[in-house]
Amino acid sequence: MSTTTSVRPDAQRPAAAQPLLDVKDLVVRYGRGRKAAAAPAAVDRVNFSIAPGETVGLVGESGSGKSTIGKAILGLQKVSGGTITYEGQDITSAGASQRRALGSELRAVFQDPNSSLNPRNTVGSSLAEPLRLRGVGAADARQRAEDMLERVGLPRDAVDRYPSQFSGGQRQRISVARALICDPKLVVCDEAVSALDLSTQAQVLNLLADLRDERGLGYLFIAHDIAVVQFLAQRVVVLYRGQVMESGPAAAVTGNPKHPFTQALVAASPVPRPTEQAARREARESLGVRTGAAAVPSPGGCPFRLRCPLATDLCATERPALRQVGGSAVACHYA
């Protein structure tokens, strides 16, 4: 996607008395027992919320903890600290029965559509499966599967075909249909378009946006490309080594970034015009941000300090708190 893609005009945070999802001081460590306690946090005190009908973009480099947060929300990764609340209900350590009850309301779309589509089952069988598990009859489930396929731009007779008979973009549309067929309230999209070509990316992003607006869906949209996030999200959270570097309205974070890491992400995002790409490359180099540091910073302080042109001794000893700078909350002593 090009960073020149504008934020949708309806990209304002919906008003809601209670957030659909509320993540507070989330900590995730990998490992068990003492090993986990001594391990650095993969996710370190992350906070954000999602209102009904809102898309929050979670963006950062590989290894920043984005997918770990998504897995923790879905119950696929154990939480070490903090809380995850869904519609006022604490689901941080939800058991199997509670997760089953949430199954129709909290869904996911992953990067690889084959992870949710059994190649031995017809598309109709894969779409109908979550409905049948909830007691929907075979005829009704098939009808709803056909309706959902039509809604995502595929023919109704696709129910009788197999995933291998479709292109990658079409399979991702089928994955979106499977995620939405139970009428969920919140969908976690984990790199849902990163494996697609640019034209197919645009089609799927527009589809997600249209379905959000029609159904009042909440999305947690996880991606490494800030331009893709900018198109779909009303708010953006920027992560680096498991910590929030900057968060706020998409227009503020992507259009006027304050944190040096966010500035580098925006400058690194590709654009289709060579002259603009050259200017962007020059701007990125002028920031003075170092390339990915091999060394992991010692605990404490700012995790970005080894790459940051603004870093001082203070950055090595004191973790910067999120503070309001312009329209964004920024974790930087000197932003």
Of 155, 164, 168, 222, which Cα lies nearest the Cα of 195? 168
136-165 as b/e: b if 16+ CB within 10 A = beeeebbebbbebbebbebeeebbeebbee
CATH superfamily of 21-105+184-330: P-loop containing nucleotide triphosphate hydrolases (3.40.50.300)
- Which amino acid belongs to residue 9? P
Q: What is the pLDDT of residue 287?
A: 65
Q: What is the pLDDT of residue 273?
A: 65
Helix (H, G, I), strand (E, B) or coil at 156: helix
In tens digits, the chain (335 residues) has pLDDT values of 443 333 343 444 444 468 999 999 999 998 877 777 777 889 999 999 999 999 999 999 988 999 999 999 999 999 999 999 999 999 999 998 899 888 889 999 988 877 778 899 999 999 999 898 888 899 999 999 999 999 888 999 999 999 999 988 899 899 999 999 988 999 999 988 887 788 888 888 888 999 899 989 999 999 988 888 988 999 999 999 999 999 999 999 998 999 999 998 888 776 666 676 676 666 666 666 766 655 566 678 999 998 898 899 999 999 999 999 988 999 999 98
Q: What is the pLDDT of residue 5?
A: 39
Contacts 24+ apart (CB under 8 A), 14-17: 14/51, 14/52, 14/53, 14/54, 15/51, 16/51, 16/52
Cross-strand bridge partners of residue 324: 329
Q: pTM of the predicted model, to two decimals?
A: 0.86
Handedness of CA 164, 166, 172, 173 (dihedral sign): negative
Instruction: Give residues with Cβ within 8 angstroms of 13, minimum separation 6.
Output: 51, 54, 234, 235, 249
Q: What is the pLDDT of residue 51?
A: 95
Q: What is the pLDDT of residue 89?
A: 93
Domain range summary for the chain, segments of one domain joined by +: 21-105+184-330, 116-181
Residue 67 contacts residue 222 (beta carbons within 8 Å): yes
Helix (H, G, I), strand (E, B) or coil at 187: strand
Q: What is the pLDDT of residue 117?
A: 86
Q: Could you tell me the two tokens for 155?
A: 């023919």
